[in-house]
């Protein structure tokens, strides 16, 4: 049929062949006939041929080569689906000869425009690697390239390839670390799991442990008093521990993984849980427990794995799961393996407070029909009894009651547990032993019998009358006993012989004789050994004198421990952990480093752009940029200084020295969340006054190091704390950190004369504090609403840093990415005056929060205030009078507004890229008012980041008609870069583009509705004039924007 000319017949044939493959039957003879059809036009036939090829190509290598050319052709196909599937099949054919072809195909595909093809390329890497490990070096190059890819589609697959090919090349991750963290939320779920596991390992090598502080706090406190006048070395050590601050990158990882706990995919939740377990400070790890408990509602298999992990966790940190104790209660319908795991966890969680409820619960379990489970429960009771001394007696009594149980396994288990318990409580338990001796007649389970015999032997002095009798009985049945029991009979005999030889001498010898001829060599050996020891004869050595000591020594009580005790050295959530043995390919989780490796490796790009930045500002660099990287080899001072220069620094070193200097610098936080400004301030103090507002990071070189030591230390802490705060809060952080910094600086004021100066500067650099306050209020209602990848930035933060932190678009190939706002305007506009609104007033402002209501909406925040003395109810948007195409995303109606109260709500308006007013009615319960919102043109934009190169390229395409320009006079106070940038971004929602020339400033944005690019260039000329150029397809908006920007720059 395969030879048939009809597609339908071929298809039918192929379907049958696939059916054969599926059943595991051999269909390899058909290879030649099938392979011919690889070039079939019918896509379904093609797919089935692919299936066949992947299965049999390895066996028929020569014939498989026939198909290669088809794939090579398909790799050039314009359809990305075909390109991708060709690559998939090509790489799945495990024929060593085609390795070079595969390599070439992978290289090409890795720079394909379609992220889907790139994803497949990442998969192909693993396949090629498993086919020919020699290609490793080349493949690593490709991986390196793909790691830089910004598409969420690719990220998961390439990390997978990384894990497979070169998991030890951690250096490849550095530069991509932040990107991966930020992308994580949008990666598909399987990729998330892989990335999280990889990042866990990464973080363990790169950050210092957050756990030390938890344990050492108290101890250090005391130390402080003792070593006041001691040498520096000790103080240093102490300070390292004491002033642990989490690396902002470490924090970034924790923050970005947290939302994933809400994932519907159990594997993702577990991955995050293990990440928190291994990386988070102990106080924070608790948040994962809720999600893990949620997973217990899932399938049996998921439950099994999750419970295992919880069991390990609950041994070390009981507190995490204590609130969920009842979730682990066992149901009679659970499978046994789930029951035992739950029991294990319950036992781990037992403490004085809950033990009584737990024991009641256990009582139910003991009666369970599932005997295996009942036995496990008895052991659990035993463990509780040893761990919690208060209940030992209760448990023991309970167990003794169980001895009268009808079920043999239950009784046997109880005996064993009682034996262990008695051993830990070697007090007066003669009664119990007597009781157990009686039981010996009925119990047949060997372990239980052996345990009883051992007990009697061990405590034979407490039951002098019974013990010989027991020996007599067992001697009778010796030959029929299990090996285990026989050994104990021998032991019992020996012990009795030593303590009570009068009564038992003959009996013991009888038993020993029986043992001498036993079938088991173990027993014969033991018999011989015991005889030599206890029976005195001429040959017996010195040992027999000590026989009594040997046999009747105090034995240490056994520890009843959890079987999960030793699992914690495996990373949670891994196969190795589940099996409790090393699986092949398990990657060890390293211990925390004592000193964090230089975190600067993660922000090389930033450092480079910082260079650019200084260039813009026209400040001379004092040293070559390479000197920044001396840090490792040079003195610690240098390290702290240089690392402080780079953007995000905490590092114990800097902290350590900080303390060493003894400068109580609360003022550290006083700089704004923008490091640029903080840098500039300290610089101005530190060297000369000519740097008024420069941000020369490299300037803290050796020469200024000495005299500015203290200050530079300040700066280090400030930058670290700043970045932390700025990156840790949602979009509101820039307003928040301002408030933080203000309070901080207040405290620091008295300390240093300069701090007040700083404060002024801060205020000047940003907005006035009072304004900020108002703004802060607004944002409070609202703050975490941002795009998932958004990390806030301060007003004048380096644009490329912005790009690095958050310029990560969801879709792949584009280099132009929407970012968050660079600046949030505080100016509010009146919508409804309280006079016209009969006491209801409304103001609005543009929050510049991207992506809140969908793509085309401009977000607007409306603050409604009730100035009447009555409640106003049901405030909502009524009839809308909108120009064509314009849309409004209404805010949720406000049910009730108290007198004097005010509420901020957010709405979205799609202005269709026009400055036409949106008119609508603002309705209350019994009134309605017509209101308008007219957007300034600057609010119709979304900032984007792009490189200078891209900017120029785009600009080149938007010349002629699309360009508008004007020459303007620039007020002298506006001629510095910072001021220009600040003013422009204030006037319009533009993103800053890094610029190589310091007299040219570039800004980029796209329009909210149509997404057209809007490029703004400000070129400073001689004699305080400037050329303002705007390139955009939307010429109308362009010219309006030009008109609006002109006064901004020319006025003071």
Partner 1 sequence: MLMRCGPGCHCPSPSPSNLIPKRVTSKESCQATDGKHRQSQKMIHSLFLINCSGDIFLEKHWKSVVSQSVCDYFFEAQEKAIDVENVPPVISTPHHYLISIYRDKIFFVSVIQTEVPPLFVIEFLHRVADTFQDYFGECSETAIKDNVVIVYELLEEMLDNGFPLATESNILKELIKPPTILRSVVNSITGSSNVGDTLPTGQLSNIPWRRAGVKYTNNEAYFDVIEEIDAIIDKSGSTVFAEIQGVIDSCIKLSGMPDLSLSFMNPRLLDDVSFHPCIRFKRWESERVLSFIPPDGNFRLISYRVSSQNLVAIPVYVKHMISFKENSSSGRFDVTIGPKQNMGKTVEGVVMTVHMPKAVLNMNLTATQGSYTFDPVTKVLTWDVGKITPQKLPNLKGIVNLQSGAPKPEENPSLNIQFKIQQLAISGLKVNRLDMYGEKYKPFKGVKYITKAGKFQVRT
Residues between 353 and 412 that touch partner 1 (CB under 8 A): 361, 364, 367-369, 405-407
Q: How far apart are CA 253 and CA 255, in angstroms?
A: 5
Q: Cβ of residue 294: shortest distance to partner 1, in angstroms?
A: 5
Q: How far apart are CA 238 and CA 243, in angstroms?
A: 9
Told to check if 123 binds partner 1 by CB under 8 A, we report yes
Q: How far apart are CA 738 and CA 745, in angstroms?
A: 10
**Which residues between 463 and 492 bind partner 1 (CB under 8 A)?**
none
The contact pattern for partner 1, residues 548-577, with x = CB under 8 A and - = no contact, is -------------------------xxxx-
Residue 313 contacts by C-beta under 8 Å, 6 or more apart in sequence?
277, 289, 320, 321, 572
Q: How far apart are CA 122 and CA 143, in angstroms?
A: 7
Q: Cβ of residue 7: shortest distance to partner 1, in angstroms?
A: 6
Q: Cβ of residue 357: shortest distance to partner 1, in angstroms?
A: 9
| Options 107, 236, 294, 621; binder of partner 1; rule CB under 8 A | 294
Told to check if 301 binds partner 1 by CB under 8 A, we report yes
| Structure-derived torsion over alpha carbons of residues 284, 287, 292, 295, reported in degrees to the nearest 10 | -150
| Options 4, 111, 332, 768; binder of partner 1; rule CB under 8 A | 332
| Residue 611 contacts residue 645 (beta carbons within 8 Å) | no
Told to check if 1023 binds partner 1 by CB under 8 A, we report no
The contact pattern for partner 1, residues 26-65, with x = CB under 8 A and - = no contact, is ----------------xxxx-xx-xx---x--x-------
| Options 102, 103, 153, 485; binder of partner 1; rule CB under 8 A | 153
Told to check if 120 binds partner 1 by CB under 8 A, we report yes
Name the one range near partner 1 by CB under 8 A: 235-243, 327-335, 508-516, 977-985.
327-335
Name the one range near partner 1 by CB under 8 A: 3-11, 222-230, 247-255, 439-447.
3-11
| Options 33, 36, 243, 304; binder of partner 1; rule CB under 8 A | 304
| Options 36, 94, 622, 952; binder of partner 1; rule CB under 8 A | 94
Facing residues of 1006 across strands? 942, 1013
Name the one range near partner 1 by CB under 8 A: 76-84, 142-150, 632-640, 687-695.
76-84
Residue with tokens 């002109």: 1046
| Options 13, 21, 450, 803; binder of partner 1; rule CB under 8 A | 21
**Which residues between 812 and 831 bind partner 1 (CB under 8 A)?**
812
Residue of 45, 43, 52, 49 lying closest to 20 (CA atoms) = 52
* H or E stretch covering 1014: strand 1013-1020
Nearer to partner 1, 65 or 1048 (CB): 65
Told to check if 300 binds partner 1 by CB under 8 A, we report yes
Told to check if 746 binds partner 1 by CB under 8 A, we report no
Q: How far apart are CA 664 and CA 148, in angstroms?
A: 42
Q: How far apart are CA 477 and CA 485, in angstroms?
A: 10
**Which residues between 609 and 648 bind partner 1 (CB under 8 A)?**
none
| Residue 620 contacts residue 661 (beta carbons within 8 Å) | no
Give SS3 for 625.
Answer: helix
Told to check if 807 binds partner 1 by CB under 8 A, we report no
Can you list the positions of beta strands (E) in 819-953? 829-832, 840-846, 858-866, 872-881, 887-889, 894-897, 902-910, 918-923, 928-933, 941-945
Name the one range near partner 1 by CB under 8 A: 300-308, 435-443, 459-467, 548-556.
300-308
CA 15 to chain centre: 45
Told to check if 8 binds partner 1 by CB under 8 A, we report yes
Told to check if 442 binds partner 1 by CB under 8 A, we report no
Name the one range near partner 1 by CB under 8 A: 189-197, 530-538, 799-807, 837-845.
189-197
Q: Cβ of residue 1011: shortest distance to partner 1, in angstroms?
A: 15
Q: How far apart are CA 108 and CA 616, in angstroms?
A: 38
| Angle formed at CA 834 by CA 831 and CA 840, multiple of 5 degrees | 85
Told to check if 965 binds partner 1 by CB under 8 A, we report no
Q: Cβ of residue 951: shortest distance to partner 1, in angstroms?
A: 25
Residue 283 CB neighbours (<10 A): 10
| Options 583, 595, 777, 957; binder of partner 1; rule CB under 8 A | 583
Name the one range near partner 1 by CB under 8 A: 129-137, 508-516, 862-870, 944-952.
129-137
Residue of 452, 393, 379, 397 lying closest to 425 (CA atoms) = 393
| Angle formed at CA 396 by CA 392 and CA 397, multiple of 5 degrees | 120
Going from the C-alpha of 612 to that of each of 218, 362, 759, the distances in angstroms are 47, 69, 27
Told to check if 127 binds partner 1 by CB under 8 A, we report yes
Told to check if 697 binds partner 1 by CB under 8 A, we report no
Q: How far apart are CA 142 and CA 135, in angstroms?
A: 11
Q: Which residues of 477-495 are buried (b: 16+ CB within 10 A; e: fewer)?
A: ebeebeeebbbbbbbbbbb
Q: Cβ of residue 256: shortest distance to partner 1, in angstroms?
A: 11
Facing residues of 829 across strands? 844
Facing residues of 992 across strands? 1003
Q: Cβ of residue 881: shortest distance to partner 1, in angstroms?
A: 17
Nearer to partner 1, 200 or 755 (CB): 200
Q: Cβ of residue 93: shortest distance to partner 1, in angstroms?
A: 11
**Which residues between 211 and 250 bind partner 1 (CB under 8 A)?**
none
Told to check if 133 binds partner 1 by CB under 8 A, we report yes
Nearer to partner 1, 266 or 507 (CB): 266
Told to check if 506 binds partner 1 by CB under 8 A, we report no
Q: Which residues of 771-780 are buried (b: 16+ CB within 10 A; e: fewer)?
A: ebeebbebbe
| Residue 660 contacts residue 232 (beta carbons within 8 Å) | yes
Nearer to partner 1, 302 or 896 (CB): 302
Q: How many residues bind partner 1 (CB under 8 A)?
A: 126
Told to check if 876 binds partner 1 by CB under 8 A, we report no
Going from the C-alpha of 511 to that of each of 455, 514, 534, 574, the distances in angstroms are 18, 5, 13, 52
Nearer to partner 1, 84 or 418 (CB): 84
| Options 63, 354, 514, 586; binder of partner 1; rule CB under 8 A | 586
Residue 313 CB neighbours (<10 A): 24
Q: Cβ of residue 491: shortest distance to partner 1, in angstroms?
A: 30
Told to check if 97 binds partner 1 by CB under 8 A, we report no
Nearer to partner 1, 536 or 585 (CB): 585
The contact pattern for partner 1, residues 192-211, with x = CB under 8 A and - = no contact, is -x---x--------------
| Angle formed at CA 561 by CA 556 and CA 563, multiple of 5 degrees | 135
How is residue 430 written in tokens?
A: 């003669």
| Options 177, 782, 823, 1003; binder of partner 1; rule CB under 8 A | 782
Nearer to partner 1, 327 or 687 (CB): 327
Q: How far apart are CA 463 and CA 471, in angstroms?
A: 12
**Which residues between 904 and 923 bind partner 1 (CB under 8 A)?**
none
Q: Cβ of residue 420: shortest distance to partner 1, in angstroms?
A: 25
Facing residues of 818 across strands? 944
| Options 24, 541, 956, 972; binder of partner 1; rule CB under 8 A | 24
| Residue 791 contacts residue 945 (beta carbons within 8 Å) | no
| Options 112, 149, 186, 647; binder of partner 1; rule CB under 8 A | 186
Nearer to partner 1, 79 or 967 (CB): 79
Q: Looking at residue 593, what DSSP letter applies?
A: P
| Residue 695 contacts residue 681 (beta carbons within 8 Å) | no
Q: Cβ of residue 1: shortest distance to partner 1, in angstroms?
A: 14
Going by DSSP bridges, is the β-strand pair 1000-1007/858-866 parallel, antiparallel, or unpaired? unpaired
């Amino acid at each position: 049929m395969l030879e048939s000319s009809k597609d339908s017949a071929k298809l039918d044939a192929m379907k049958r062949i696939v059916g054969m493959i599926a059943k595991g039957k051999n269909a390899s003879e058909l290879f030649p006939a099938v392979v011919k059809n690889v070039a079939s036009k019918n896509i379904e036939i093609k797919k089935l041929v692919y299936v066949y090829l992947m299965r049999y190509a390895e066996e028929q290598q020569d014939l498989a080569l026939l198909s290669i050319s088809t794939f090579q052709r398909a790799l050039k196909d314009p359809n990305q689906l075909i390109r991708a599937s060709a690559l998939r099949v090509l790489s799945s054919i495990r024929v060593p000869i085609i390795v070079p072809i595969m390599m070439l195909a992978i290289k090409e595909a890795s720079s394909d425009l379609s992220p889907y093809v790139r994803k497949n390329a990442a998969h192909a890497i693993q396949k090629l690697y498993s086919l020919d490990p020699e290609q490793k070096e080349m493949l690593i190059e490709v991986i390196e390239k793909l790691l830089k890819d910004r598409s969420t589609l690719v990220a998961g697959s390439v990390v997978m390839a990384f894990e497979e090919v070169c998991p030890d090349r951690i250096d490849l991750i550095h530069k991509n670390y932040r990107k991966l963290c930020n992308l994580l939320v949008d990666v598909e779920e399987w990729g998330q799991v892989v990335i999280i596991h990889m990042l866990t390992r990464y973080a363990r090598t790169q950050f210092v442990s957050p756990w030390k502080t938890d344990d050492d706090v108290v101890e250090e406190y005391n130390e402080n008093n003792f070593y006041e006048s001691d040498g520096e070395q000790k103080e240093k050590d102490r300070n390292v521990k004491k002033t642990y601050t989490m690396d902002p990158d470490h924090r970034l990882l924790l923050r970005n993984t947290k939302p994933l706990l809400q994932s519907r995919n159990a594997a993702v939740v577990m991955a995050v849980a293990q990440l928190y377990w291994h990386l988070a400070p102990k106080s924070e790890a608790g948040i994962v427990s809720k999600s893990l408990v949620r997973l217990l509602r899932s399938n049996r298999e998921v439950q099994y794995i999750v419970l295992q992990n919880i069991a390990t966790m609950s041994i070390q940190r009981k507190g995490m799961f204590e609130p969920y104790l009842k979730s682990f209660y066992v149901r009679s319908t659970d499978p046994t393996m789930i029951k035992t795991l739950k029991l294990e966890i319950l036992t781990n969680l037992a403490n004085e407070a809950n033990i009584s409820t737990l024991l009641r619960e256990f009582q139910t379990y003991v009666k369970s029909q599932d005997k295996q489970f009942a036995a496990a429960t008895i052991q659990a009771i035993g463990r509780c009894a040893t761990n919690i001394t208060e209940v030992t007696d209760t448990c023991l009594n309970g167990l003794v009651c169980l001895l009268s149980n009808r079920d043999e396994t239950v009784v046997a288990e109880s005996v064993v547990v009682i034996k262990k318990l008695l051993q830990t409580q070697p007090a007066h338990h003669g009664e119990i032993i007597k009781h157990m001796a009686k039981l010996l007649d009925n119990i047949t389970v060997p372990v239980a019998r052996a345990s009883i015999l051992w007990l009697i032997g061990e405590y034979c002095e407490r039951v002098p009358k019974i013990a010989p009798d027991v020996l007599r009985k067992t001697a009778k049945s010796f030959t029929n006993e299990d090996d285990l029991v026989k050994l104990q009979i021998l032991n019992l005999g020996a012990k009795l012989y030593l303590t009570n030889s009068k009564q038992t001498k003959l009996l013991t010898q009888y038993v020993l004789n029986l043992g001498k001829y036993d079938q088991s060599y173990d027993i014969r050996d033991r018999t011989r050994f015991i005889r030599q020891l206890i029976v005195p004869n001429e040959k017996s050595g010195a040992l027999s004198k000590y026989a009594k000591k040997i046999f009747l020594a105090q034995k240490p009580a056994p520890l009843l421990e959890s079987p999960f005790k030793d699992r914690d050295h495996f990373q949670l959530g891994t196969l190795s952990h589940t099996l409790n043995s090393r699986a092949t390919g398990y990657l060890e989780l390293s211990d925390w480093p004592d000193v964090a490796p230089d975190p600067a490796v993660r922000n090389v790009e930033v450092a480079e752009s910082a260079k650019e930045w200084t260039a813009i500002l026209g400040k001379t660099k004092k040293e070559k940029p390479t000197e920044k990287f001396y840090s490792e080899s040079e003195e610690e001072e240098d390290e702290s200084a240089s690392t402080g220069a780079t953007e995000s620094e905490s590092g114990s070193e800097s902290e350590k020295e900080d303390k060493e200097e003894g400068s109580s610098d609360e003022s550290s936080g006083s700089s704004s969340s923008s490091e640029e400004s903080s840098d500039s301030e300290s610089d101005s103090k530190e060297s000369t006054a000519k740097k008024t507002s420069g941000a020369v990071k490299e300037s803290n070189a050796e020469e200024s190091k000495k005299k500015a030591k203290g200050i530079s230390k300040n700066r280090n802490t400030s930058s670290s704390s700043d970045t932390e705060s700025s990156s840790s809060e949602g979009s509101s952080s820039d307003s928040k950190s301002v408030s933080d910094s203000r309070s901080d600086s207040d405290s620091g004021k008295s300390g240093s004369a300069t701090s007040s100066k700083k404060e002024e500067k801060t205020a000047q650099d940003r907005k006035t504090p009072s304004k900020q306050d108002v703004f802060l209020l607004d944002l409070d209602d609202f703050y975490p609403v941002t795009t998932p990848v958004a990390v806030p930035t301060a007003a004048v933060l380096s644009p490329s840093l912005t790009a690095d932190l958050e310029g990560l678009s969801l879709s792949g190939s584009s280099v132009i990415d929407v970012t968050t706002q660079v600046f949030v305007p505080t100016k509010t506009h009146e919508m409804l005056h309280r006079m016209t609104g009969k006491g209801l007033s409304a103001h609005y402002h543009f929050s510049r929060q991207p992506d809140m209501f969908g793509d085309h909406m401009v977000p607007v925040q409306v603050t409604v205030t009730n100035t009447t003395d009555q409640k106003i109810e049901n405030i909502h948007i009524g009839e809308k009078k909108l120009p064509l195409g314009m849309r409004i995303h209404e805010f949720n109606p406000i049910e009730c507004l108290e007198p004097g109260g005010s509420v901020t709500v957010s709405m979205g308006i799609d202005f269709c890229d026009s400055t036409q007013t949106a008119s609508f009615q603002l309705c209350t319960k019994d009134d309605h008012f017509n209101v308008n919102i007219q957007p300034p043109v600057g609010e119709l934009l979304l900032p984007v980041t792009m490189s200078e190169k891209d900017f120029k390229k785009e600009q080149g395409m938007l010349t002629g008609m699309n360009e508008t320009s004007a020459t303007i006079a620039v007020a002298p106070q506006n001629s510095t870069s910072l001021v220009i940038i600040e003013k422009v971004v204030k006037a319009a929602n533009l993103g800053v583009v890094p610029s190589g020339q310091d007299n040219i400033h570039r800004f980029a944005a796209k329009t909210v509705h149509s997404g057209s690019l809007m490029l703004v260039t400000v070129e400073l000329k001689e004699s305080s004039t400037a050329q303002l150029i705007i390139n955009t397809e939307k010429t109308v908006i362009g010219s309006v924007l030009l008109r609006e920007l002109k006064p901004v720059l020319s006025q003071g």
